[in-house]
Chains A and B, each alone.
Chain A
């Protein structure tokens, strides 16, 4: 009698199923339970960091769709965040519309801007595309500063507190629930995009665009679509950001922020949804570990007292990107895969 592997697949549908084994369902349930308990066991600062991680995850997902899945480099991601943040804030302040309308409007405005940027960028690749998207970032910053009647210019804009059915989400714990739900929806959507014809077209373009065209992928359409989807994610993240911080200013959306998102997807894993989450959380949370390390070492070595500052984080990010690019190009996702395999095969190595 032949022994069939529990992960043996007989159809393509089975191969792309989200929950392929009972264990995946179990661990997802554990994760959801942990996330539900988190505001109870964690202090408000910890919850706030998780909130920031949610925003970073959604924004980095957008960039990973464009860069990791479609192979289009972008240094203008922060600009799309700005469009989303300002779009949401303007809707909330001027029209007093509900939050979901504001988030969709912010995302939609960013998506339209993304499509507009995507069209002239069709013929650009690599460094030239990076420069073009960076230039777009400069244009957006200029517009936000000079169009002060709409954006508040250099004074910035205050975002009203988020309210849901008359209930004000005025603490980090309440915001956590809101951000977690949005992040979950965006993650599910991203996972589904990558499992469909659209996702496969993106990957085909990334791997070899001429070959993709030969097999019938409409490169123009899919590249513009990738820009639009990526920007939509950035726009929604911008809206989430404005609700969380409560105040937006042109200086919040700089080139450095775009680079930070690139760091997230490199560290997490290009072209991986789970890797994006790892990368976003890692980059948001790692400064806390560096700080803990600095404080701990100050107890052992007094000369380390008060030595920690933000420059440590920047230096560490740079180091991390180098280390990952050289030693672990697959990012944290690749490490995660090895961990899973290690546990799965234990006590054997393979």
Chain B
């Protein structure tokens, strides 16, 4: 028995010694060969917000595979290496370093959300990682960040559009806005924007209530809003708490018009809430699943072909759209594909159409800002979908 324990101890020692040496071995070239392109992706796959990352990443991978079936990019087949960061910045930083140094990828489609992208800012510039963050912060394009291309209206623009819609489309008598928000970046930005914009229209904001992201009940928020006679509720929260809010409101027979931003505007809201979503109006910077546009038709085809069981359709659409832009940029970069030519090619996407997936894309060497445009969606209870009720629109210019 003692012999065995000593033997096991020696073998353990030897294993870790050899494995450490193996880990230190260097790899070769970065990303592009005559017949292949390696591309990285850092996106949450597991953990509490896996439901957001999975469809997004699947959309990106499926579109790249679709390009491969069409012959690849200038004869080169694309391989996507997907690293899971569990939506944690330190893990995202480690994943980026691994993709660049070990896998030698040409670029990384996205390095994750706001925190992850900010944490990676140095790496992005140092290793010339052209990427589209899975986030909507204005510091990604003001001032110009050479390798970051922002896609999707900022939180400010989305909430400005919502208040514009309330004032000019909804035309409700005596509108009284209640705001339900999370103590997160989007929540705080949303609240500030709504208050500022509503003041310009002289619409009173009668309540500002925190609804935590992990809330399983919103009774206190609903009862307070009822007490304040808020007939419009703008939520600055992600999908799960908004579902909680709508279901709780239904329980108390409280039926205001409820608005939500892109992270809460998905078919899932109708599927999860049913009738409770009948007064829900959401905004998003991607087209709707039911849109009859070429881009969305392709998205539906990819989902069917790959038999994807997608929870959040809007994120799958977004994923396809992001890969679409990279695919186009890689084509434009031509045979001489490298981090710098990819970035330059991305900057040539001017008034570029993605078949209704995104609003027209306008990047240049002076600006990597997103089109600050959104569509409004309303619930179709019969088909359990959100259908677009407007075309792309921007916040109204106000003094």
A and B: real partners?
yes
Binding site for B on A (CB under 8 A): 38, 41-46, 48-49, 52, 145-146, 153-156, 158, 161, 170, 172, 245-247, 249, 251-252, 285, 288-289, 292, 306, 309-311, 335, 338-339, 342, 349-350
A245 and B10 form a contact (CB under 8 A): no
Known pairs A45-B101, A145-B183, A158-B118; A252 contacts B12 (CB<8 A): no
Report B-chain residues with C-beta under 8 Å of the C-beta of A161: 122
A245 and B88 form a contact (CB under 8 A): no
Check if B86 is an interface residue, CB within 8 A of chain A. Answer: yes
Check if B2 is an interface residue, CB within 8 A of chain A. Answer: yes
Q: How far is the CA of A145 from the CA of B88 in the complex (A)?
A: 17
Report B-chain residues with C-beta under 8 Å of the C-beta of A247: 89, 115, 118-119, 121
Name, among A145, A339, A349, the residue most crowded by chain B CB atoms within 10 Å (CB to CB): A339
Q: Could you jot down 24 A-B contacts, CB within 8 Å?
A: A43-B27, A43-B102, A44-B97, A45-B100, A48-B97, A52-B94, A145-B183, A146-B183, A153-B188, A154-B183, A161-B122, A245-B119, A246-B121, A246-B122, A247-B119, A251-B88, A251-B89, A289-B19, A309-B45, A309-B84, A310-B46, A310-B84, A335-B12, A338-B6
Q: How far is the CA of A229 from the CA of B31 in the complex (A)?
A: 47
Check if B5 is an interface residue, CB within 8 A of chain A. Answer: yes
Report A-chain residues with C-beta under 8 Å of the C-beta of B89: 156, 245, 247, 249, 251-252
As a 0/1 sequence over residues 100 to 119 of chain B, the CB contacts with chain A under 8 angstroms (1 = contact) are 11100000000000010011
Which of B9, B23, B187 is in CB contact (< 8 Å) with A288? B23
Check if B24 is an interface residue, CB within 8 A of chain A. Answer: yes
Known pairs A156-B115, A246-B119; A338 contacts B27 (CB<8 A): no
A310 and B118 form a contact (CB under 8 A): no
Which of B9, B46, B115, B188 is in CB contact (< 8 Å) with A339? B9
Check if B47 is an interface residue, CB within 8 A of chain A. Answer: yes
Closest-CB distance, B82 to chain A (whole angstroms): 7
Report A-chain residues with C-beta under 8 Å of the C-beta of B253: none
A154 and B93 form a contact (CB under 8 A): no
As a 0/1 sequence over residues 5 to 17 of chain B, the CB contacts with chain A under 8 angstroms (1 = contact) are 1100110110000
Name, among A245, A249, A306, A310, the residue most crowded by chain B CB atoms within 10 Å (CB to CB): A310
Report B-chain residues with C-beta under 8 Å of the C-beta of A146: 183
Interface residues of B in 266-288 (CB under 8 A from A): none
Closest-CB distance, A35 to chain B (whole angstroms): 13
Check if B185 is an interface residue, CB within 8 A of chain A. Answer: yes
Check if B396 is an interface residue, CB within 8 A of chain A. Answer: no
Known pairs A156-B115, A246-B119; A45 contacts B12 (CB<8 A): no
> Please, how many residues of chain B have a CB less than 8 angstroms from a CB on the other chain?
44
Q: How far is the CA of A156 from the CA of B137 in the complex (A)?
A: 13
Closest-CB distance, A53 to chain B (whole angstroms): 11
B102 and A349 form a contact (CB under 8 A): no
B3 and A46 form a contact (CB under 8 A): no
Report A-chain residues with C-beta under 8 Å of the C-beta of B6: 338, 342, 349
Check if B184 is an interface residue, CB within 8 A of chain A. Answer: yes
Nearest residue (CB) in A for B118 is: A247
B93 and A245 form a contact (CB under 8 A): yes
Closest-CB distance, B13 to chain A (whole angstroms): 5
Give the 8 A-B CB pairs with smallest separation, nearest first: A247-B119, A45-B101, A42-B24, A311-B46, A342-B6, A310-B84, A309-B84, A338-B9
B24 and A46 form a contact (CB under 8 A): yes
Which of A43, A156, A246 is in CB contact (< 8 Å) with B26? A43
Closest-CB distance, A208 to chain B (whole angstroms): 30
Nearest residue (CB) in A for B103 is: A45
B90 and A339 form a contact (CB under 8 A): no
B101 and A43 form a contact (CB under 8 A): yes
Check if B91 is an interface residue, CB within 8 A of chain A. Answer: yes
Q: How far is the CA of A38 from the CA of B119 in the complex (A)?
A: 25
Report A-chain residues with C-beta under 8 Å of the C-beta of B24: 38, 41-43, 46
Check if B214 is an interface residue, CB within 8 A of chain A. Answer: no
Binding site for A on B (CB under 8 A): 2-3, 5-6, 9-10, 12-13, 19-20, 22-27, 45-47, 82, 84-86, 88-91, 93-94, 97-98, 100-102, 115, 118-119, 121-122, 183-185, 187-188
Closest-CB distance, A45 to chain B (whole angstroms): 4
Report B-chain residues with C-beta under 8 Å of the C-beta of A42: 23-24
Q: How far is the CA of A155 from the CA of B135 in the complex (A)?
A: 13
Q: How far is the CA of A350 from the CA of B184 in the complex (A)?
A: 61
Q: How far is the CA of A161 from the CA of B93 in the complex (A)?
A: 15
A310 and B2 form a contact (CB under 8 A): no
B2 and A349 form a contact (CB under 8 A): yes
Report A-chain residues with C-beta under 8 Å of the C-beta of B85: 310
B98 and A45 form a contact (CB under 8 A): yes
Q: How far is the CA of A306 from the CA of B10 in the complex (A)?
A: 33
Report B-chain residues with C-beta under 8 Å of the C-beta of A252: 88-90
Nearest residue (CB) in A for B7 is: A342
Q: How far is the CA of A249 from the CA of B91 in the complex (A)?
A: 13
Q: How far is the CA of A252 from the CA of B89 in the complex (A)?
A: 7
Nearest residue (CB) in A for B14 is: A339
B93 and A45 form a contact (CB under 8 A): no
Q: How far is the CA of A251 from the CA of B185 in the complex (A)?
A: 12
Report B-chain residues with C-beta under 8 Å of the C-beta of A292: 19, 22-23
Q: How far is the CA of A262 from the CA of B89 in the complex (A)?
A: 21
A310 and B45 form a contact (CB under 8 A): yes
Q: How far is the CA of A161 from the CA of B123 in the complex (A)?
A: 13
Q: How far is the CA of A46 from the CA of B24 in the complex (A)?
A: 6
Report A-chain residues with C-beta under 8 Å of the C-beta of B20: 285
List 10 additional contacts besides A153-B188, A245-B93; criterion CB under 8 Å.
A43-B102, A46-B23, A154-B187, A156-B89, A161-B122, A245-B89, A247-B118, A251-B115, A285-B23, A338-B9
Closest-CB distance, B109 to chain A (whole angstroms): 16
Closest-CB distance, B157 to chain A (whole angstroms): 18
Q: How far is the CA of A44 from the CA of B100 in the complex (A)?
A: 9
Report B-chain residues with C-beta under 8 Å of the C-beta of A172: 97
Closest-CB distance, B241 to chain A (whole angstroms): 15
Q: How far is the CA of A310 from the CA of B25 in the complex (A)?
A: 23
B115 and A342 form a contact (CB under 8 A): no
Report B-chain residues with C-beta under 8 Å of the C-beta of A43: 24-27, 101-102
Q: How far is the CA of A251 from the CA of B44 in the complex (A)?
A: 15
Closest-CB distance, B255 to chain A (whole angstroms): 31
Report B-chain residues with C-beta under 8 Å of the C-beta of A52: 90, 94
Q: How far is the CA of A106 from the CA of B90 in the complex (A)?
A: 20
Which of A170, A342, A350 is in CB contact (< 8 Å) with B10? A342
Report B-chain residues with C-beta under 8 Å of the C-beta of A289: 19
Closest-CB distance, B1 to chain A (whole angstroms): 11
Report B-chain residues with C-beta under 8 Å of the C-beta of A48: 94, 97
Closest-CB distance, A130 to chain B (whole angstroms): 22
A339 and B10 form a contact (CB under 8 A): yes
